[in-house]
Amino acid sequence: MLPSMVYIPFTVASGEKAVLIQAEAPLHHKPTDPRWLSSLNQLRGMAPIPAKLVSLQDPGGDSAHVALLFAERGYWLFATGHRQGDLRRLVRQYEWPQDHMYPSDLYIVPKDYFGQVGKYGTDVSMPIPPQERVNTCFHG
């Protein structure tokens, strides 16, 4: 390791993520398959916290199943950088309305950015701040 480099541990894959993937597969292909719920409850049973998490109940209905699965993904994968991909998948694969997943109305642009009112567009990727656009290495 070079002296100027800093080692920061980063988890590429975890057991929790694997169980969440296993839970989504049957739900995506056959929504009536109960394995998705048993996988989520198995994950809750392995929770490394003092209090035991209660088992989830079947909420009924395909969209409620998907909502529960992605809510659990949000809890288990908090601060791991997966949420944007999950939101994009909900729109693309599960055909949830984009304006329910992302902001779609007016917003106030901060004073440093000319103090204007803007309107969210249909893009579902992160906007590039003006400070980055002046970077000569930025070509995006």
What's the pLDDT tens digit per position in 53-92?
889 999 988 889 999 999 999 999 998 889 989 998 999 8
Assign 114 a pLDDT band (cuts: 50, 70, 90): low
Query: Rounded CA gap, 77 and 44, in Å?
Result: 13
Model-level pTM? 0.73
pLDDT of residue 95: 93
Q: 102 vs 37, which has greater pLDDT?
A: 37
What is the average pLDDT across 103-117? Answer: 71
Q: Residue 104 is encoded by which pair of tokens? A: 């779609």
Closest CA to 68 of 80, 56, 76: 56
How many whole angstroms separate alpha carbon 37 and alpha carbon 45? 12
pLDDT category at 47 given cuts 50, 70, 90 is confident
**H or E stretch at 108:** strand 106-108
Judged against a pLDDT cut of 70, whether residue 112 lies above it is answered with: no
pLDDT at 3: 60
Domain-wise residue ranges, the chain = 13-140
The mean pLDDT of 12-19, rounded to a whole number, is 88
